[in-house]
Every structure is written in structure tokens, then in C-alpha cells.
Amino acid sequence: MARPKEAILSQSLIRDQALAIIDEDGLGALTMRRLASRLGVQAASLYSHFANKDAVLDAVAERLAKRIDPAGFDAGWQHGLRTWANSYYSALHWHPNAAPMLLARAQASGGAEAVTDRVHQSLVEHGWPPRQAVMAATAVRFLVLGAATDAMDARRIDEVTDFAAADPLGEQLDTIEPPSFTMALDCLIRGLEAELGEAKSRGAQTRRRRSRSAAA
Amino acid sequence: MARPKEAILSQSLIRDQALAIIDEDGLGALTMRRLASRLGVQAASLYSHFANKDAVLDAVAERLAKRIDPAGFDAGWQHGLRTWANSYYSALHWHPNAAPMLLARAQASGGAEAVTDRVHQSLVEHGWPPRQAVMAATAVRFLVLGAATDAMDARRIDEVTDFAAADPLGEQLDTIEPPSFTMALDCLIRGLEAELGEAKSRGAQTRRRRSRSAAA
DNA sequence: ACCTGAACACCGTTCAAGT
DNA sequence: ACCTGAACACCGTTCAAGT
């Protein structure tokens, strides 16, 4: 064969099959050789379209991020954060095996990516001091990623917790919706509201102190 | 050589050198062959002491966890959570390259480990409903692990944020201590306090509803 | 420009063999 | 019981060669 008239591979094709492998058999099952064989091609062929395996994973991460909705900030940063986190969480909910990868990337490229992030920018535009905005955005991000790895998954919790003894009549069933993730998110946002208030008053204090020392 | 009179390897020796490699060159640099050569031995020899590489990583994770202080719960769950998180964070602060591994483990063995966790137990003993306790413990855990990966590291944030423009006189310098991590933790705990109150009143409500329908 | 086949330098792990 | 040497079945990646 060597070179067909029309290319049988493309970045999007490779990227989608990579995600499919991750979904089906986990991140550890994603191999350049396996990815290639799934596309009916040799492993080396993939390097005509991606520089290396990491670039493939970048493409997958980017595609997953496409589903994330950063537009809710028009109705306040709380709403924006909640919308963003929920869409991020539900995007990952369909691809739980991809969460570890995003976790690894949030930590690797984290610094630069996190700061130039739209969520961070939106927080700053809503009056968050830059540093605290990074903290807030990162905290929410890790909360989402942690939740998406099923660590707080209600079903698994029920398997392990002696739930029958604590709640013999199953009255807490209504606390399944909203899921644990939403509860944790609410907790964090509630705390962030208080923090923002304090950060602002700290800023005002500093400003007063500054004009006083400038007057002296 | 083949077999020396006294064994030249031991689990603790291997485990400590594994951590040293991770510290020096990152998780990706930890190889059975490299670990062995550092110990002056062949790779196959390691399998006399550990079933596989994963078992070595387990040992490293366990050693890091030894430094974590879960005893602060005697002075209230807020204090306990804070003490635990801070000790966890500072333990990881000396081994930032190990954080990704713990992140991966928190997600893999997560379900079972998280629930039987001492933190979770302590929260339940302080009146948290089991399910919410899992949520709270997991949220704090991921916050710590996220922070430990340097994603919120103040120095890196300053490199990227246009901080000079926002704060030309450097007045916010005092906000470096406490670090972003502590702020995020405070936010979360504040929110958790409110959540616990609501969870308790929800429980009381349910109990009232139950006795009413039992009377009917 | 795009795919192949073969190779390179690695992995984790196994196992008979030595002491 | 513990370590060696060699092997097995994998990796990611490179590269000349084909069309």
C-alpha cells in the first residue's frame, strides 16, 4: 500500500479512537500499537499526524474540554463556577477512565494552563484578586476531577458504608440527588463567598493604610 | 555472588531508594532496573522482596502516609480536618513528585480506602452522616493532593499572573502566608460547617416525618 | 505527503540456575 | 532464602524505503 490516494488517517480519527480505547479499557490500555491496529494501520503511521503519544492525549483532553461550559459567569461568579463545574463533571461522567489523565495534566501543565484559564479570568473580572482566583479555580477543578474519578461515587459508598444500620428505612435516599459532588461544590462555593468578602475588606484596609502612610 | 550470607536488600531499603528516585527525577524515572542498579543489584532481585512494581509504590505511599496526623479530631472535627490536611500537605511538600502517585492511588483504591479511612471514621464519630462524611473527607483529600502538585503554588502563580500591574506596591505580599492551600481549606471547612448543620436538621425533619406517619 | 517494515532502546516480569 | 543471567512479551519512537 504505502501511500493511498486519500489519507486514511486524520488527527480527529486518531483522537476519537484513542478516547474510545480509554473509555473501553482504561488509560493503561492506550498504546500506540493498539491504537494503530484499531485504525487498521501501523504504529509508525500515527507519527505522521501527532508528534508523540502525549500529543494524542492532549488532543483527547482538548476534545473533552470542548464540552465544558464557561459561559455561566454572566449571572455571577457563583453561578458561573457552578455551571462550569457541573458541565465539567458531567462531561467526565461519560468518560470516567479519562479523569486520571486530566488529573495528571492538571498537575503537569497546571501552572500555566490554570492561570490563563477562562475560569480564572472570569473570577478576576468578577472582583477576585488574581491569587485567590487561582486558588478558587484550582480548588474547584480538583474537586471536580476527584469526584469524576468515582472516589465519591454514591453507589460505591453504599457498598462499603454500613448504610442499612445507620438508615434502616432508607430515608436518606433523597440525598442521593444531588450527588455528593454537588454537595461538596456547594460547601466550597459557600466558603468562597465568605473568603471573597474578607479578601475585599483586606484590600480596602490595605488601601486605607497605604493612603495614610502616603499622607504621613 | 548469587546469595550473600546476609541479605543485601530489604523492603525498607528498596522503598526508601524508590522514594529517593521519585524525589530526584520524578515518578517517570522510577524503573525497576534503575531502582535495582541504585541498590547495586539486578532488577530481578527486587522480586524477592516485592510482588511487583505496584507493591513498591504501595510501600512508598504507606511510608508517606505515616507522617499524616489524624489525632487532631479530639478538639473537634474542624480542627481534626485542618490538622490532618496540613500534615498531609506538608508531608507531600517535601515529596512533590510523589503527589501524582498518591493522586492515582486515591482514585484507584479510592473507594474502599476512602471509606475505611480514619478521617472518615472520625467525621462520623463527630456526627457526620456516613455519606456526607465520605464526601467531606474526599473533598479535603483532593484539595490537599491538588495543592501538593504545585498547581496552586504561589511562586508559580506569581510568575504567570500579571501581579505587578494589579498590585504595584506589593501590598498583597502578606497574603502569601498562609498559602493558597490554607485559604482553600478554610473555604471548604467553612462551607462544611454550614452543610453539617443542614444535614442534621434534614435528619431531624425526616425523623419527625417518620414518627408522624408511624402514628397515622 | 503518508504509510510500511524493521529496527533501537527501553520496559515489567519470569524462571532456571547458582549458593 | 536470595541473587544472577538470560529470556519473553511488550513499550514509544525513528527512519529509510516505497508510492
Q: Do B152 and A129 touch (CB under 8 A)?
A: no
> How many residues in chain B?
216
pLDDT over 50 at B164, yes or no:
no
Alpha carbon of A79 to those of A84, A189, A193, B16: distances in Å? 8, 10, 12, 47
Partner A contacted by B41 (CB < 8 A): no
Q: Do A175 and B104 touch (CB under 8 A)?
A: no
Q: Closest Cα partner for A147 from A137, A136, A156, A159?
A: A156
pLDDT value for B175: 31
> What span, in angstroms and rounded, lies between the C-alpha atoms of B40 and B34?
10
Q: Which of A18-32, A131-145, B109-123 has the highest mean pLDDT?
A: A18-32
Render A39-54 in DSSP notation, one character per residue: TTS-GGGGGGT-SSHH
Angle, helices B77-93/B130-148, rounded to nearest 10 degrees: 30
Which DSSP category does B116 fall into?
S
Gap between the Cα atoms of A98 and A15, Å rounded: 13
Asked whether B174 and A134 are in contact (CB, 8 A), the reply is: no
Residues of A 28-67 whose CB lies less than 7 Å from any atom of strand C:
36, 41-45, 48-49
Q: Are A12 and A60 in contact (CB under 8 A)?
A: no
pLDDT (average), residues B119-141: 89
Shortest CA to C1' contact from A36: nucleotide: C3
Top-ranked range on mean pLDDT: pick from B74-78, B103-107, B132-136, B196-200: B74-78
The residue with greater pLDDT, A63 or A71, is A63
User: Which grid coordinates belong to A176?
Assistant: 442521593
Higher pLDDT, B121 or B199: B121
Contact indicator for A48, A9 with CB cutoff of 8 Å: yes
Show Cβ contacts of residue A113 under 8 Å, excluding neighbours closer than 6 positions: A105, A106
**Nearest alpha carbon to residue A14 among A101, A48, A3:** A48
Task: Give A156's pLDDT tier (boundaries 50, 70, 90).
Answer: low
- Tell me the pLDDT tens digit for each residue of A164-176: 444 433 334 333 3
Confidence of residue B73 (pLDDT cuts 50, 70, 90): very high
Q: Does pLDDT of A152 surpass 80?
A: no
Cβ distance of A111 and B157 shorter than 8 Å: yes
Share of residues in chain B with pLDDT > 90 (%): 40
Residue nearest to nucleotide C4 (CA to C1'): A2
DSSP B177: S
Identify nearest nucleotide to residue A48 by CA to C1′ distance.
C2
User: Mean pLDDT, to the nearest integer, of A22-47?
Assistant: 97
- pLDDT for the residue A4: 81
Of the ranges A13-27, A167-181, B89-103, the best mean pLDDT one:
A13-27
Q: What span, in angstroms and rounded, lies between the C-alpha atoms of B166 and B93?
A: 28
Q: What is the pTM of this model?
A: 0.82
pLDDT in tens, A99-123: 989 888 876 654 455 556 788 889 9
**Closest nucleotide to A45 by C1' from CA:** C3
Inspect the interface and report whether the beta carbons of A135 and B163 lie closer than 8 Å: no
pLDDT value, residue B177: 34
Burial class from Cβ neighbours inside 10 Å (0-12, 13-18, 19+) for residue A188 reads: buried
